A and B are shown apart, each in its own frame.
Chain A
């Protein structure tokens, strides 16, 4: 091209450097960043994590008052008081000291061993899972976790798209890289600072421990216990005690008397627990469903929760850094002649 043709001046006689189109910069890191962004946005939507995490948070907050050692101690104290009343009635029955027919007291005597066993098992489960529950309760608000995936995802997607376009135009893409790097760092920091890894192993035992308790059937069973107890108490407090005391002034009724004196706080506690259980059955089902969403991948969602932040974070950070490293290695810059 530099040969002179027909005596015409060459182009280079007038232009010192030949203008070339800016050379496209490396684009693949931005493709990775954008794809990670899409995955982080899609994952909580596809898994239903937004509503389910909110329900999980509501459940954890609802059970807070019932997961304390003092709460369990109160329930165990209530059981001891019921034991005392049961023992009194059984003794009176054994000695034939009852005067009259008391259907509701009889039903209490017949049902109480089962009631006691069921409620004791429930309190045992609460005690057994207290530590795991506390690890879950110490997490950042669960309802915020899907947002902490999706929002960095939006940033990564935006950074990926803009970075790709700038790189394709041969322009520097420092801004998108910085944005992507910041979002990636956030994804790395969230599970570490939020304690997601230590809590990961806590969810499954809590789910397994509460699975038999948080069902509509169990709530109905407890409501049935409640009917049995209040009916018996009404009869004991009414004509039963009066009749026994009248006929046998020395009969032992200390257990029944203790039941009467503790009745109001006992029933309030029992009603509150049944209410919390009833109102959280659907929440619990949502938690189980959320935990099971990743089972086809070979792990449960709570077990892998921390990694769902960390792995995309590391990949995004590496992708953002990869562009910078390549630019530093290559002496060729867009717009420059070789």
Chain B
């Protein structure tokens, strides 16, 4: 009897300690669990060194080409790699903010030149400046998209940059990854409302994604937790509009600054960057 009582007390004590342990000391996530990078991805300006490029840059692949081999649109305003690569400088914010939008101003253009100057400095492309913005409603497709999110998983980055859009010469191009669906086509009266109802039902009862959820591969890259140096790259097919079928190749490089950093602090030299964590 005493033995049973002792065992019961021990079991209860074990249970209580286990429960209290759960409630007060949540186990730390494993090191490889994806961690969001919330803050500013401060860009390193693009640079050309002979036939190679570094920093932040962009290429535009002609239809039928490949991101690796081209053919690329020859930008007469760029000397990098014979105009195949357009080098980018950070914009007024220093780069890309995650978990928030850096929207296109209104008006978005002046004589065809993009006025979106927050993420990258407007850069000449065929003699007309193009800019980059992230918007809750994508200007080309009219689709709702999430703000940029970047996850670090043991030094490997995956990013939802579906809101990444380029603007040039009074034209808007979604250049995100993953891609939002193309612009909603003309529809029979009432079908949009039916689609919304179905989306709601499918999401609530069948655990299906909304029909306008961005699809396709995400942007990927690397992250050094010690130096906060990052790279991100992706390709994005242009769907619709004058450059339908062309593909944008984007490469971002720089240093991540967690959200605690002042929003408009001056660029920090890479050598003196102090890791926030």
Contacts and interface: CB of A to CB of B under 8 A. Distances in A.
A234 B169 contact: no
B186 A230 contact: no
Q: Which DSSP category, helix, strand, loop or mixed, fits chain B's interface?
A: loop
Given A223-B242, A264-B127, A283-B186, 18 more contacts: A54-B186, A104-B74, A147-B189, A223-B243, A223-B245, A234-B127, A265-B111, A267-B169, A271-B169, A272-B170, A272-B171, A272-B242, A275-B241, A275-B242, A275-B244, A278-B240, A279-B240, A279-B241
Contacts of A283: 186
A55 B186 contact: yes
A285 interface: no
A220 interface: yes
A234 B75 contact: yes
A291 interface: no
B106 interface: no
B126 A233 contact: yes
Interface of B: 62-63, 73-77, 83, 111-113, 126-128, 169-171, 183, 185-189, 240-246
A219 interface: yes
B127 A263 contact: yes
A238 interface: yes
Contacts of B83: 234
Nearest to A240: B76
A54 B188 CA distance: 6
A198 to B, nearest CB: 25
Contacts of A270: 242
Contacts, number: 100
Interface in A207-232: 219-220, 223, 226-227, 230-231
Contacts of A271: 169-171, 241-243
Contacts of A104: 74, 76
Given A143-B188, A267-B128, A268-B170, A233 B242 contact: no
Contact of A234 (B74, B113, B185, B243): B74
A274 B242 contact: yes
A227 B73 contact: yes
Nearest to A279: B240
A58 B244 CA distance: 19
Contacts of B169: 264, 267-268, 271
27 contacts: A55-B186, A143-B186, A144-B189, A147-B189, A219-B244, A220-B245, A223-B245, A227-B62, A230-B74, A230-B126, A231-B74, A238-B76, A264-B112, A267-B112, A267-B128, A268-B112, A268-B169, A270-B242, A271-B171, A271-B242, A275-B171, A275-B240, A275-B241, A278-B241, A278-B242, A279-B240, A283-B186
